[in-house]
Structure 1
């Protein structure tokens, strides 16, 4: 019986991005309450914002969380790999 919550365990594979990688946000991201000094629901990253991966951590021993520094916004935001795209790949398709 499947509960519909079957998700791939990301940490069994290598990370999608490495520290220093130039990435862009594929989606708009709002504060879920984990960013101190910001209102819950406040937009912290807009679709298309460009940043650099600073560090890689894990969440629940299942998912990679990429600490991305958005220099223009002056913030570091934890994001999932599916929320990011490699900037060089974006330039190649433009």
Structure 2
């Protein structure tokens, strides 16, 4: 969904790190596999994808995360990930 410069998508069953790659690639008009150096920085350069995925993964007892969010800059965008399962991508100011 595009909301005035902001793209928002539901993570669903997808890991947040993969949802970020797909959302940024969509904004750039390229395939996710094309989101690579030298034209683009890697996600690893700005955040640990494994740690990000673990942060929003269900708890050991299977319960979902109730709240929390992470925001950072990636490939010229401000990216926000929430415990509710959304990834939003908007142009960085």
> Which range, TM-score by smaller chain?
under 0.3
TM-score after normalising by structure 1? 0.22
Larger radius of gyration: 1
More helix by share: 2
Q: Which has the higher contact order (CA 8 A, sep 6+)?
A: 2
